[in-house]
Amino acid sequence: MSKAVKLLVSGYEASGKSTITSTIKDALVINFDRKEYSFAIPHANFKDYEGMDSVIKFVNEKIAAYKKKNNDTLPKVVVFDTVTQMYTAMVGYNSKKYSGFAIHSQNNIDTITFNEYIEKVLMVSGISVVIVAHTIVDTDSGRHIIPANGSVMPFVAVMQHRNPSNCWKPLTEIRKAISSEAYVNRNVQRLSLMGVAA
């Protein structure tokens, strides 16, 4: 099995990010944008965010369908297009379901859960991951940033190869819980039960 990688593709809105990633061979695109995906490659349009488990369940189901349709072969790459829209949906959902500091805490948990799913389920199964994100110019610093609500920044910091130590510090306990063997086994088991594991 070849080593899986995680790659970030970021750029301004309508700058061609989806066009570029649509040329990746043997890929499955999970489309989070509010518009239909317009490229003729395997894709699935995610519509109804109901917690991070709904994202993971949807991705697992689409990987299983891809495998069934492609002679028992997993996609070599899963493209999340765009993670910016997924996080907008996540923050909106958590803001309605929770209140006060619990919104922030749940955003943290969901952010880490998504990253752990990528690294400890998809990548461990040999599936590379491409994260597509919007970029804007920060008016204060003049730097290009990925717009993010709440605690999406730790995930973005890792993706941008910045030093994330300060971002992760308050999340240590949450990370420990989600990094636990039980969490990883639960998701690997989900893939296995669906006949997805290679």
What are the pLDDT digits (tens) for 21-58? 889 999 999 999 877 777 888 999 999 999 999 999 99
Sign, Cα dihedral of 126, 55, 115, 132? positive
Residue 95 lies in a domain: yes
Between the CA of residue 100 and those of 33, 73, 95, 113, what are the distances in Å? 28, 45, 9, 21
- Does position 169 have pLDDT exceeding 50, yes or no? no
CB atoms within 10 A of CB 36: 8
Work out how many domains the chain is built from and give that number.
1
pLDDT band at 159 (very low <50, low <70, confident <90, very high): very low
Taking the C-alpha atoms of residue 69 and residue 89, their distance in angstroms, rounded to an integer, is 30
Residue 144, pLDDT score: 76
Top-confidence residue, 48 or 141: 48
Residue 26 lies in a domain: yes
Cis peptide before 82 (omega within 30 of 0): yes
Residue 157, pLDDT score: 41
Boundaries of domain holding 146? 6-193
Residue 64 lies in a domain: yes
Top-confidence residue, 160 or 183: 183
Taking the C-alpha atoms of residue 183 and residue 113, their distance in angstroms, rounded to an integer, is 9
DSSP assignment string, 38-102: -SSSSEEE-----SHHHHHHHHHHHHHHHHHHTTT---SEEEEETHHHHHHHHHHHHHHH--THH
**Could you tell me which residues are beta bridge partners of residue 137?**
144
Taking the C-alpha atoms of residue 15 and residue 112, their distance in angstroms, rounded to an integer, is 28
Top-confidence residue, 47 or 14: 47
The enclosing H or E element of 27 equals: strand 27-31
CA neighbor of 195 nearest in space, from 77, 76, 73, 113: 73
Taking the C-alpha atoms of residue 103 and residue 73, their distance in angstroms, rounded to an integer, is 39
Give tens-digit pLDDT for 52-81.
999 999 999 999 999 999 999 999 999 999
Q: Are 28 and 43 in contact (CB under 8 A)?
A: yes
CB atoms within 10 A of CB 9: 18
Residue 1 lies in a domain: no
CATH code for position 158: 3.40.50
Residue 94 lies in a domain: yes
User: What's the pTM value of the predicted model, to 2 decimals?
Assistant: 0.75
Residue 198 lies in a domain: no
CA neighbor of 41 nearest in space, from 49, 53, 31, 55: 31
